[in-house]
Amino acid sequence: MAGKHPPKPRNSGLFIAEPSTFGKGFASLGPPCLEPGGGAMKKTESVELRYNALGSDYDRITGPLEWLTAKMRQRTLAQATGEVLEVGVGSGKNLAHYRPDCRVVGIDMSRAQLELAEKRAMKQQRMFTPQLGDATRMPFDAGRFDTVVATLVGCVVDDPHALYREMRRVCHPDGRVLFVEHIRPPGPLMRAFCRAAGPAAKRALHCDMNRDSIQYMEEAGLHIADRQNSVWGMFVQLVMTP
């Protein structure tokens, strides 16, 4: 799929992080996305501050969730090809699951998390470019990426419609959008669990466990090509097309 269209100009090229360049990738990619009128990501400031404050504790806090979804993420991200955008890349825990020839751009609103991701990319010798910014207003050309990825991100953003519209916009028309997401489960027992655990998840990670994410995706113009449910329907793996 990556060969179906010519590559587009990119800011600084895709680099493999090195000790001498660590922390400099942000400057080469320009300032964070700004809202009209010059206000920087006003609606997401609380989320940004929370994830910056978590720092390396993020990996510890989300460890059980990462373990639960590890196989789902491995299967889904193995389908990524070419020029890849990972939305909400966080500390870069997904980087190990991509094919070695994937060129990954990771966008996140947290500078602290992006610095952790850059360290991971350096250790794993991955082709990785960090981008500080808000995924609901991304500074990329339409159709730039062969694959757009998000794992457990749609439950965190304040405006999921805007997130999914942007993911669709930056994906090449022949590309794919890949998700691992938790959704509102179909059964009453799991729904009761999500309602009970929801307040704690919201406080810790700004996570809405009861969001009907697939409805938002489809309303944004994404189409399901493949769907696999896991953990009694609480998690879903999706391959979607723009």
Tens-place pLDDT, residues 108-121:
988 988 999 999 99
Local structure of residue 211 (DSSP, 8 states): -
pLDDT at 28 over 50: no
pLDDT tens readout for residues 206-222: 565 667 889 999 999 99
Question: What's the rounded mean pLDDT across residues 201-205?
Answer: 56
Exposure b/e, 10-43, CB count within 10 A at least 16 = b: eeeeebebeeeeeeebbeebeebbeeeeeeebee
Sort strands 128-132 and 145-151 into parallel, antiparallel or unpaired. Answer: unpaired
pLDDT at 241 over 90: yes
Please give the residue that has the higher pLDDT: either 123 or 154: 123
Please give the residue that has the higher pLDDT: either 189 or 209: 189
Per the prediction, the chain carries an average pLDDT of 77
Poorest-pLDDT segment among 20-24, 55-59, 171-175: 20-24
Local structure of residue 152 (DSSP, 8 states): S
Residue 138, H or E segment: none
Q: What is the pLDDT of residue 156?
A: 76
* CATH superfamily of this structure's domain 61-241: Vaccinia Virus protein VP39 (3.40.50.150)
pLDDT at 87 over 70: yes
Q: What is the pLDDT of residue 184?
A: 74
Most confident of 42-51, 53-62, 233-242: 233-242
Domain locations along the chain? 61-241
pLDDT at 170 over 60: yes
pLDDT at 17 over 70: no
Instruction: State phi, psi for 10 to the nearest 5 degrees.
Output: -125, 150
Question: What's the rounded mean pLDDT across residues 221-241?
Answer: 90
Please give the residue that has the higher pLDDT: either 197 or 78: 78
